[in-house]
Amino acid sequence: MIKQNLKYILPVILPLIVLLLPASSFGIEGLTLVEQRVIAIFVMAALCWVLEPIPIYATSVLIIVFELLLISDNGLWFATNSPVEQQGHLLKQSTIMATFASPIIMLFLGGFFLAMAATKYRLDVNLARVLLRPFGNSPKYVMLGIMMITAIFSMFMSNTATTAMMLSILTPVLALFAKEDIGKVAFALSVPVAANIGGIATPIGTPPNAVALKYLVDEYSVSFAEWMAIGVPFVTVMLLIAWLLLNYLFPADTKTIKLDIEGHFLKTPKAYLVYMTFTLTILLWLLGGVHGMSSYVVAMLPVAIFSMFKIITKDDLKNISWDVLWLVSGGIALGVALDKSGLASNAIDSIPFDSFHPLLLIVGASLLCLLMANFMSGILKIRRCLKWG
Amino acid sequence: MKKIQLKYVLPIVIPLIILLLPITSFGIVDMTLVEQRIIAIFVMAALCWVLEPIPIYATSVLIIVLELLLISDKGLWFSKTPSPELGHLISYKTIMGTFSSPIIMLFLGGFFLAMAATKYRLDINLARVLLKPFGKNPKYVMLGLMIITAIFSMFMSNTATTAMMLSILTPVLALFASKDLGKVAFALSVPVAANIGGIGTPIGTPPNAVALKYLVDENNISFGEWMVFGVPFVIVMLFIAWLLLSTLFPSSIKEINLNIKGRFLKTPKAIIVYVTFIVTILLWLMGGLHGMNSYVVALIPVAVFSMFKIITKEDLKKISWDVLWLVSGGIALGVGLDQSGLAANAIEAIPFAEFHPLLLIVGASLLCLLMANFMSHTATANLLLPLVAALGASMHSLLPYGGEVVLILAVTFAASLGMSLPISTPPNALAYASGHVETKQMARVGGGIGIIGLLITYAMLYMLKQISFIG
Amino acid sequence: MEKINIICVDDEREVLESVVHDLEYFSDMFNIEECESAFECLELLEELDAQQEYVAVLISDHVMPEKSGVELLTEVALDNRFLGTKKLLLTGLATQADTIRAINNAKLDNFLEKVWDPQELLQTVKELLTEYIVEKGIDYEVYIEKLDAPTLYRLIKC
């Protein structure tokens, strides 16, 4: 009973304790009130995301609201009237609110529009049909084909949506396998594995990538194409390894396999517009340097084109995963607060990270991240790791 | 055929011509390239909103994207070529930020309140309880309906309120004889009350929120202050509308019986909804005491409802994102006009100062009323308010009459008063769809209320100036 | 975890028990309610609604005294509060006219004939339940072991 309640109690009590402790007890020199509050919000967010007492996107909203209440210039009366030297630097209300529409979010929105239009005009299923053909009928190669297609799609669509689509193609085939044939396991696993791997290849493949972009600025700035230059080879290698592993662990007894996907490419003017916009957007993303537009601005093009031509209607707008966008916003808001309040640089100074070996740090942080990722929603873990890096 | 083509051709050709004209042909001294492009975007927006070749929210998206492409620091390569005439490029983050500007957050909070109220049936249950004291006489039942509709539409969208009230009314309307004019009165009372009620609070209808964007610094109006003049205005207008409807369309039925089923939910979640609703409204009204402005307060219900799973991620999808985007486009237009310096520049070049300020107030609000009758209220406000705000700020002759605020408020109120046609507002369209109202009847009532409303607006603004509430 | 109900209505005790028995599979995650008449069912619906619980599937017999199954299902179909509730008619004695009314007015989601195949009933309810959960936006991951995978794949879009 207590254990069950702990997940509700801890996220309330611990941040409160952090808030009420004297500023000197943190061991960070010149810690301001605002910085202390940022720590409390951070602790609350971490606990809420790990223990999940409330939905994960609600935690993001909570972060933004607490930042507005406690560390913004329009916050609660007692939060804004301390002497300046103790209080530290308050954030502007509009800065915090703008995280709901930060460039990263717009990048995702563009990705959602592309994915929605592709699904609505059946580009995804039709592509899958055409692309699967060259892989023949041998289960081994069909699986490779499925994995590659899943990976390619999940670079631009959400991993969940891709998995659902590919599994619905696979279901009738899996039913044909003999009961004892463990090849079924291989097929069933190949899709989610490929979707997760594929998401790594582009900045919009999966939310953690987008969160990373937020921290890769100035001299570390990575463009869409640069990301893909690293991401795609990585995905290719990983896919091959995963394929070999699955084949080795779960060899199929069935000799031939036939995937039946019905349909043909739509040839209406709107469908052509979708194909063209899709191609154009991806090209513009890849050619970042030539036209001067950043990938964030490019992401807005499909949004404008699809809403203008009623390819995405206002009812389709409602199918966007707004909760995912808000989830990412919360992470960005947390980053903004850490950064703008000066806490990030302050705290790192006072912890002797320098005495660690850098390789140890990289390996340690990534192992921690992997461990957390296995238990938490994919997207959350990356924030904390990035901030320590 | 040609006419249909025109609505597609004009919004493309005219802005293009503006883009290609030599910069000197505008007659504005020291005009920059960025300013010229904003004029083109503005003209395109105006044409798209008036002719509606594309959905109105898509126009908003288009504005934002064109601003990103043409006047932002991350735009197309040729748009950034340095030259002495280029002018000041706007940061792309600022433009994207209009999607979540404080005004949008205010509306989001309103949507959350409304969604939770509907989901936990607070609206229908309140309607049931509040209608009881009005008895069974058709005349007073109608008054009751109008008051309740107006109250709800202060916090919910006018369309949602109308839909809900009309669904309560439909079984009753079926009981009227087919020639009974009373039916018309009832069917019209709901959209009229919803349109009027929206004026009562900043979140009642999008034009109010757009107006808030321009009421800043010394002209700042808080949520509570808005209601101080908004609510009395709504009451007076409701009363006039009620008199108008019951004289024009008297009912021959003696007794009317509204039957609403249900009871107040008493689950813990429902109680959280009630409490949050009340707390949020109180916090909005007492802006001065707790230091939070209305934008920050608006996000409190958002946090509370998502925390307790009162609004789930599936419910998030029911939010009218298109309305939020529509408002964003208006704000982006304003940001473009303002930050490029065009607004200030252009106003100086046109000799508005020679006009009489009263003429200007009346002219602008009449134009707004006219436009609002034929197109979306929000789009009207999006187009007119940035112009009017710039004009108001630069016209010193307005000061004796209350200054910029008077001009902005007159235009904002006018935007909500356009309700003479089925296409004027979604509530009107819903009432028209009931089949009990003819366009002619709607035009008589809506037109009358529009003109009377405008006159009362002037009177109210005059009084507010006299007691130094504004200006 | 949300409270999700499956309601079974039949005036014959033995039939009711056998339906509930066939749905045993769902009983550890969902609430299976039994009603012996249409009126009992309507009362139960009021109660469940006052607690804001979900009514996912309503399985009803047709021939019952006082109020028939089709009448009951029609009433539920017109009630805004139970928008989306899946309706299954389980009967051996429906005339063609009844069946037509059931489809046109009660917006039936499924029709099974008495005597039914337990496996078929189970599968049907499984599919209806999955549809309801996805359509209502309830977190399906919690219930995934009891749901129908192909239906889930078909319906999930993001």
Closest-CA distance of chain B to residue A59, Å = 7
Q: Which range is least confidently modeled, A170-174, A197-201, C100-104?
A: A170-174
Q: Is B99 on the interface with A (CB under 8 A)?
A: yes
Give me the pLDDT at residue B300, please: 93
- CB atoms C153 and A165 under 8 Å: yes
Are B60 and B129 part of one and the same domain? no
Chosen from B77, B99, B101, B111 to mutate, greatest number of chain A CBs within 10 A: B99
Is residue B395 pLDDT above 80, yes or no? Answer: no
Are B128 and B267 part of one and the same domain? yes
Closest-CA distance of chain C to residue A259, Å = 16
In a domain, B404, yes or no: yes
Q: Is B267 on the interface with C (CB under 8 A)?
A: yes
Q: What is the span of the domain harbouring residue B19?
A: 2-100+322-441
Q: Which two tokens stand for residue A191?
A: 């899709």
Is residue A77 pLDDT above 50, yes or no? Answer: yes
What is d(CA B438, CA B456) in angstroms, rounded to the nearest whole number? 27
- CB atoms B267 and C137 under 8 Å: no
Q: Which two tokens stand for residue A268?
A: 């209406």
Q: Are B273 and B117 in contact (CB under 8 A)?
A: yes
Option in C50, C52, C136 nearest B314 (CB): C136
Q: Which residues pair with C5 in a beta bridge?
A: C31, C55
In a domain, B466, yes or no: no
Chosen from B120, B121, B264 to mutate, greatest number of chain C CBs within 10 A: B121
How many CB atoms within 10 Å of residue B163?
Answer: 15
Are B65 and B209 part of one and the same domain? no
- CB atoms B270 and C52 under 8 Å: yes
Are A187 and A298 part of one and the same domain? yes
3-state helix, strand, coil in chain B (%, to 5): 75, 0, 25
Q: Which residues pair with C112 in a beta bridge?
A: C90
What is d(CA C158, CA C148) in angstroms, rounded to the nearest whole number? 18
Are A130 and A199 part of one and the same domain? yes
Are B42 and B86 part of one and the same domain? yes
In a domain, B227, yes or no: yes
Nearest to A56 by CA among A332, A336, A330, A372: A330
- CB atoms A164 and C149 under 8 Å: no
Q: Is A280 on the interface with B (CB under 8 A)?
A: no
In a domain, B460, yes or no: no
Q: Which residues of C touch B120 (CB under 8 A)?
A: 52
Q: Residue C155: closest CA among chain A residues belongs to which residue?
A: A164
Alpha helices by DSSP H, listed for B1-157, are 2-20, 33-51, 56-71, 92-97, 102-119, 122-131, 138-155
- B251-301 pLDDT, tens digit per residue, is 888 888 877 777 788 889 999 999 999 999 999 888 778 888 888 999 999
Are A268 and A367 part of one and the same domain? no
Q: Is A12 on the interface with B (CB under 8 A)?
A: no
In a domain, B384, yes or no: yes
Element (H, E) at B244: helix B223-248
- CB atoms B269 and C52 under 8 Å: yes
In a domain, B291, yes or no: yes
Phi, psi of C7 (to 5 degrees): -110, 130
How many structural domains compose chain B? Answer: 2
Closest-CA distance of chain A to residue B243, Å = 38
Dihedral sign (CA A82, A83, A87, A91): positive
Q: Which of A289, A321, A353 is the C-terminal boundary of a domain?
A: A321
Q: Are B38 and B338 in contact (CB under 8 A)?
A: no
**What are the structural domains, with CATH classification, of chain C?**
4-117 (3.40.50.2300)
Q: Residue A54: closest CA among chain C residues belongs to which residue?
A: C1
Is residue A256 exposed (0-12), middle (13-18) or buried (19+ Cβ within 10 Å)?
A: exposed
Are A69 and A211 part of one and the same domain? no
- B37-49 pLDDT, tens digit per residue, is 999 999 999 999 8
Residues of C engaging B, defined by a Cβ cutoff of 8 Å:
50-52, 136-138
Q: Which residues of C touch B306 (CB under 8 A)?
A: none
Q: Which two tokens stand for residue B119?
A: 């989901």
Are A302 and A363 part of one and the same domain? no
Q: Which two tokens stand for residue A145?
A: 């084909």
- A211-248 pLDDT, tens digit per residue, is 888 787 777 778 888 899 999 999 999 999 999 999 99
Are A309 and A349 part of one and the same domain? no
What is d(CA B428, CA B440) in angstroms, rounded to the nearest whole number? 13
Is residue B150 pLDDT above 90, yes or no? Answer: yes
- State the complex-level ipTM: 0.83
- Counting residues of chain C whose pLDDT is more than 90, the rounded percentage is 54
Are B183 and B250 part of one and the same domain? yes
Q: Which of B271, B291, B320 is the C-terminal boundary of a domain?
A: B320
The model's confidence at residue A387, banded by pLDDT at 50, 70 and 90, is very low
Q: Is A176 on the interface with B (CB under 8 A)?
A: no
Q: Which residues of A touch C153 (CB under 8 A)?
A: 164-165, 167-168, 171
- Counting residues of chain A whose pLDDT is more than 70, the rounded percentage is 94
Q: Which of A268, A302, A321 is the C-terminal boundary of a domain?
A: A321
The DSSP bridge pattern shows strands C54-60 and C31-35 to be: unpaired
- B205-260 pLDDT, tens digit per residue, is 999 989 988 888 778 888 888 999 999 999 999 999 999 999 999 888 888 887 77
Give me the pLDDT at residue B353, please: 64
Nearest to B199 by CA among B395, B3, B393, B454: B454
Are A119 and A72 part of one and the same domain? no
Q: Which of A290, A321, A352 is the C-terminal boundary of a domain?
A: A321
Closest-CA distance of chain B to residue C132, Å = 13
In a domain, B452, yes or no: no
How many structural domains compose chain A? Answer: 2
The model's confidence at residue A353, banded by pLDDT at 50, 70 and 90, is low
- CB atoms A98 and B290 under 8 Å: no
Q: Print the SS3 string covering C53-103.
A: CEEEEEEECCCCCCCCHHHHHHHHHHCHHHCCCEEEEEECCCCHHHHHHHH
Q: Which range is least confidently modeled, A145-154, B6-15, B334-343, B438-447?
A: B334-343
Q: Which residues of C touch A158 (CB under 8 A)?
A: 158
Are B163 and B65 part of one and the same domain? no
- Residue by residue, DSSP assigns A176-193 as HS-TT-THHHHHHHHHHH
- Residue by residue, DSSP assigns B182-223 as HHHHHHHHHHHHHHHHGGGSTTSSHHHHHHHHH--GGG---H
Any idea what the Cα angle at residue C99 is, between residues C97 and C103, rounded to 5°? Answer: 120
Are B333 and B311 part of one and the same domain? no
A39: which residues sit within 8 A by CB, 6+ positions away? A18, A26, A343
Are B37 and B120 part of one and the same domain? no
Are B333 and B312 part of one and the same domain? no
Element (H, E) at B426: helix B426-433
Are B124 and B176 part of one and the same domain? yes
In a domain, B74, yes or no: yes
Bond into A125 cis (ω within 30):
no
Is residue B53 pLDDT above 50, yes or no? Answer: yes
What is d(CA B448, CA A132) in angstroms, rounded to the nearest whole number? 66
Q: Is B81 on the interface with C (CB under 8 A)?
A: no
Q: Kindly tell me the number of DSSP H helices and DSSP E strands found in chain B.
A: 22, 0
Q: What is the span of the domain harbouring residue A370?
A: 2-101+323-388
Neighbours, chain C (3 or more CB pairs < 8 A): A, B
How many CB atoms within 10 Å of residue A283?
Answer: 12
- CB atoms A93 and B102 under 8 Å: yes
Closest-CA distance of chain B to residue A30, Å = 27
Are A126 and A268 part of one and the same domain? yes
Neighbours, chain A (3 or more CB pairs < 8 A): B, C
Are B410 and B378 part of one and the same domain? yes
Are A41 and A77 part of one and the same domain? yes
- How confident is the model over A32-49, as a mean pLDDT? 89
Are A114 and A192 part of one and the same domain? yes
Report in angstroms the alpha-carbon separations of B328 from B64, B101, B325, B341. 8, 8, 5, 20
Are A161 and A259 part of one and the same domain? yes
Higher per-residue confidence, A120 vs A369: A120
Q: Are B199 and B231 in contact (CB under 8 A)?
A: no
- CB atoms A55 and B318 under 8 Å: no
Closest-CA distance of chain C to residue A174, Å = 11
